[in-house]
Structure formats: structure tokens, C-alpha cells
Amino acid sequence: MAETTPQPPVQFETHPDSYRHWRLAFDGPVARLTMAVREDGGLRPGYQLKLNSYDLGVDIELCDAVQRIRFEHPEVRAVVLDSALQKIFCAGANIFMLASSGHPFKVNFCKFTNETRLAIEDASAHSGIKWIAALNGTSSGGGYELALACDEILLADDGNASVSLPEVALLGVLPGTGGLTRVVDKRLVRRDIADVFCALPEGVRGKRAVDWRLVDQAIPKSRFDQAVRERALELAKGSDRPGGPGVRLAPIAPEVTPTARRYRHVTLGLDRSRRQATLTVRGPTGPQPKTPAQFLEAGGDAWALRAFRELDDALLQLRVNELEIGTVLLHTEGDPRAVLEADGAVAELRGHWFVREILGQMRRTLKRLDLTARTLYAAIEPGSCFAGSLFEIALSADRSYMLDDPARATAVQLSALSAGLLPMSNGLSRLQSRFLHDPPRAGRLLERRGPFSAGEALEAGLVTFAPDGIDWDDELRLALEEREALSPDALTGMEANLRFAGPETMESKIFGRLSAWQNWIFQRPNAVGEKGALSLYGQKGQRPEFDWRRT
């Protein structure tokens, strides 16, 4: 049965000293991230995390570990992901947690889980950190999905260790959607083989798992640990990670009140009676780092890192803890020249390992904004600093409104980061995605060095509307009121379809299918009804009753 009692807010900040489910150890260029899930350590009461099954709390720690390896340990060039349990790698998402959770929590859990796995893949692609999944035992469902996020999967060949995606057969749901997509798009498993694999709840072992491309190697148990270590060291040789001291990620510790979360550079204001939020990002103040040494000295306090970490946390709070907020009004405050100066330094120095990680944080946070199932409207007013990386926020919005009033001038501006260094999930920049009908336009706009006034921005297609001073308040108010009256389900579907025009990537497929298929399946009686497969899982003598009509 779905949850009915109020739950305490989920907190997304943690630290290795507070981990309950993971052990993080370092040995030269190789880190070992060991899954050791505490059975009694669930985020919420009512279920036990047996067999290294996981819930959102386990994934929050994993996300933190990925971040800390990137920022705090530049000596790490390869990571081994393994298990502390004998004959069990990971049993996947905890079924009883899923069955007892409400629909929004299920979908947001799947979304965060996929974003975390994409962060592992991003670390491989952009940070020079290669990942090995060392499967010493059963790896099923989300456990195998976690392995799929790694560069290589090594499986113990002992007659016990196996990989499986049993959700269709056992639960009547999809393997998080990311599992199916990675099997065929990343590991290039043939469609017919994948069909057989997903219908085998017991999974596949040994040589067959290798032959079907489900794992890279099946290694006898007697030399498994040695082979994993040797392969990790081999992969580490190809990395450009420099070693040396890392940069500590200090807590961001917002001030929290009943109606707001106030960070140093970000404020999230909540008007629950109107189901609206305002999300304001403030630009940098004071001198910003211009050299690698200055960036390292600024560390976690560098605006480009701190502001986007804060924005990331605010977005997660909105998603998971403020489910009835339907519309978010996006604001910025500050000097656009300071934003452009900070952007310029990040773009120029992005070859430096720490600046590269800052750019990665910006990229991943903006993707999180793109993927947030809320209506996003940007309001560009006097005092705004929608420039460069912060103009990406306006480009992420479903609509943007820019005041056109000579007495109160407004402007927007592009920067070097607008030219593809902060891509969307579809692999394109937000400018390219905006101008699919006129691809050369993005390049022409980037050639302009100065700001765009409201009229120029409207003509260039950079904003949706540019009301004058007389109409500004009424037009924005009416737009918000119109949105309040519409079906949230229809809006989620509409916005998710419109935000990712253009080519599909593995990443855009994952989230498109998550928004559509998982949203649908998690509400169907065949999965979550009284006699649904997910609801009855683990109840002896109970068999699901399906509505057999295909739709």
C-alpha cells in the first residue's frame, strides 16, 4: 500500500564520515567503493534493506561518493565498485520500499538513481576516472543497472554469480528504464538476446553472460580479486588525473524556514498556497579566480562551484520534498559582467583538473534543471544577471519573459560557456536545441560580444515575450494563473516532450522513457493495484491478477 502518512523531508547532503551503506577506501590511483548496506538503515521505516538492496538514502551516499572522488581525490584514476557481502553484489532497489511508497516518490527515486549513474558515466567521459564493477555474486535489477553504469563489468565465474533484470517477470514494472536502455544502447546487446535476458528472472552466469555481452569477463573465483586489481591499475594508466591535493567540498548548509531555503548564492522561496516557487540565483561578487592557483585557493567557495552546488540542492528539495509546487519562477540578481568574467575563466582554464570538475558540476546541475518536472518560467527584470552560464537557466525555461521598458533597462548576454560546454541530455547546447529550424543562428548569435536588449533578444529568438512596463505585471500574473489551472499530469508530459527536441542520446532516451513508461506503469493496477505484481511481491500463496488487455 502506498504511503499515507507525512514523511520528514529528505536531505541530500552527506559526508563519508556519515555513510551507513558504503565504504570508501583509497590505494594510490585506485579507489574502492564497497557496498555494505545496513539492513536497518532505511531512509524510512517499514522495510529492511536485505541483500544489499537499496533505497534513496543509499543512492544519496553513492552520489556524494562520486562527487568527492572527483573533487577531493585527484589522485584517483580508477574506481572498483564491489560488495562486502559474500555471493551478493546487489539485489537492486528494495521492493518493499517501492511497494510502500507513493507514486511521485517512486518516479523521483528512479530519476535520481539514473542521474547518479549518469554521474558515474560522466566521470568516465570527462574526468578521466574509469569504473569497474566487480560482481562477486548475484547482481539483479538495479544492482545490475549500477554495474551497467561502469566502464567494465567483471563477473565471478563460480556457478553462483549472475546478472539479471527480473522486474518485468517478477514485479510487472520496468528495470528503472535505464537498465533496458543501457543493455541495448551502451553494451550493444542484440534485441532478441535482450528480450530473452529480461524474461529470465534467475539471470545469466559465466560464459553465457560474456557471450551475450552482458559482462566483459567471467573470472574464476580463485583469481577474481587479483584480476580486478590488475585491470583497475591498467585502466588507471590511461587517465590524465594529476594527483596532488584535492579540494574539500564543505557543507552548503542553507538557512531553512517554513517558506524558504536561503543559501549563500541561491534562494528558494515557497508559496504553497499558490503551488508556486521562486528560485533566485545571485551572480558573483568580489574578485573571482583567474588562474589555476587562484581556483585551488578559492576551493569550494569559488562562485561557479558553490552557486551551482546550491542550485543543485534546491532543485532536489523541490523535486522530492515539495511535490505540490507546480510552477517555478526563475530569477537572477547581480552584475552580468561578473558572471561573464567567471565564465571566461572557467572556459579558458577548463583543461585544469579542478576547473574541469567545476564545469562538470555546472553541466550536471543544468541538466537536473532540464529534467525537473515543474513548469519553469524565467523573469528577466532590472537587476537580473541572465548572462552566460546563468542565461542557460533562462534557456532551460519553458518560457521566458523579459521586461521591455526604456526607463528600466534589461539585457541578456551569451558567453563562451554558451557554445556547447554545457550541453543538454540530447547532446546539443541549449542554443542549438532552441534553433533546430535555423541551425546557423546559434553560431551567429555567439559571434555577438555585447548584450541583447529586450527588443533585440525577442527579435533574435532568445526570449519568448518582452512585455512593456504597462503590461509586465499583468502578463506575468496571467501566465502563472493559467498554468495553475492545468492538469499537472498533462503538463509533465507536455514539458518533457518539448524540452528535448532534436537527436536522441542514451541519456535522453532514459529520461524520456522514465517520464512516459515508468510514470504510466507505476500507476497501473497490474503493478500497484491490490492484486498487482509489485504489491504482492513476497507474499506467499499470492499471485498477481492482471488486466490482460494490451494498451
Domains, the chain: 16-236 (3.90.226.10), 255-493 (3.90.226.10)
| pLDDT, tens digit, 9 for 90 and up, residues 228-274 | 999 999 999 999 999 999 999 999 999 999 999 999 999 999 999 99
In which region does residue 159 sit, left (phi positive, over 0), alpha (psi from -120 to 50) or beta (all else)?
Answer: left
Average pLDDT, the chain: 94
Average the pLDDT over 469-478 and give the result: 95
pLDDT over 80 (residue 3): no
CB 353 within 8 A of CB 241: yes
pLDDT over 70 (residue 413): yes
Look-up: residue for cell 517478477? 170
Considering only 238-252, 273-287, 530-544, which range has the smallest mean pLDDT?
530-544
Residue from 48, 180, 101 nearest 522 by CA: 101
CA distance 332 to 383: 8
Q: Which grid coordinates are listed for 526? A: 497490474
CB 58 within 8 A of CB 11: no
The beta strand positions in 354-442, using DSSP E, are 375-380, 399-402, 411-412
Radius of gyration of the chain (CA): 24
Q: Which residues, in sequence order, are CB contacts of 375 under 8 Å at separation 6+?
A: 326, 327, 328, 398, 483, 491, 495
In which region does residue 467 sit, left (phi positive, over 0), alpha (psi from -120 to 50) or beta (all else)?
Answer: beta
Considering only 223-237, 399-413, 480-494, which range has the smallest mean pLDDT?
480-494
pLDDT over 60 (residue 204): yes
CA distance 48 to 96: 8
3 state SS of 149: coil
**Banded model confidence at residue 551, pLDDT cuts 50, 70, 90:** confident
| pLDDT, tens digit, 9 for 90 and up, residues 108-123 | 999 999 999 999 999 9
Q: C-alpha dihedral over 488, 493, 495, 497, to 10 degrees?
A: 180
- Interhelix angle 353-370/336-348, rounded to 10 degrees, is 120
Residues in the chain: 551
Calculate the alpha carbon distances from 373 to 41, 93, 323, 499 in Å.
29, 22, 10, 11
pLDDT over 50 (residue 217): yes
User: Residue 6 has what pLDDT?
Assistant: 60
Query: What DSSP state is assigned to residue 387?
Result: B
Considering only 86-90, 171-175, 258-262, which range has the smallest mean pLDDT?
171-175
Residue from 53, 171, 199, 201 nearest 534 by CA: 171
The burial class, CB within 10 Å (0-12 / 13-18 / 19+), for 427 is middle
CA distance 426 to 455: 30
pLDDT over 70 (residue 341): yes
Calculate the alpha carbon distances from 474 to 14, 36, 380, 482 in Å.
43, 56, 15, 12
Q: Which grid coordinates are listed for 361? A: 558540476
* Backbone φ, ψ for residue 157 (5° rounding): -100, 85
Residue from 167, 164, 151 nearest 205 by CA: 164
CA angle 294, 296, 301 (to 5 degrees): 90
Strand duo 276-282 + 260-262: pairing: unpaired
Q: Which grid coordinates are listed for 539? A: 507474499
User: Residue 1 has what pLDDT?
Assistant: 40
CB 270 within 8 A of CB 279: no
Strand duo 260-262 + 266-271: pairing: antiparallel
Longest dimension (CA), the chain: 78
User: Residue 5 has what pLDDT?
Assistant: 53
Quickly list DSSP for 238-266.
T-----S----------EEETTEEE-SSE
Rounded to two decimals, the pTM is 0.94
CB 110 within 8 A of CB 514: yes
Average the pLDDT over 445-455 and give the result: 95
Look-up: residue for cell 594527483? 243
Which residues are 379's β-sheet partners?
Answer: 401
Strand duo 30-35 + 22-27: pairing: antiparallel
User: Residue 155 has what pLDDT?
Assistant: 98
Which residues are 31's β-sheet partners?
Answer: 26, 79
CB atoms < 10 A from the CB of 105, how many? 21
Look-up: residue for cell 533496458? 180
The beta strand positions in 172-286, using DSSP E, are 204-205, 217-220, 255-257, 260-262, 266-271, 276-282
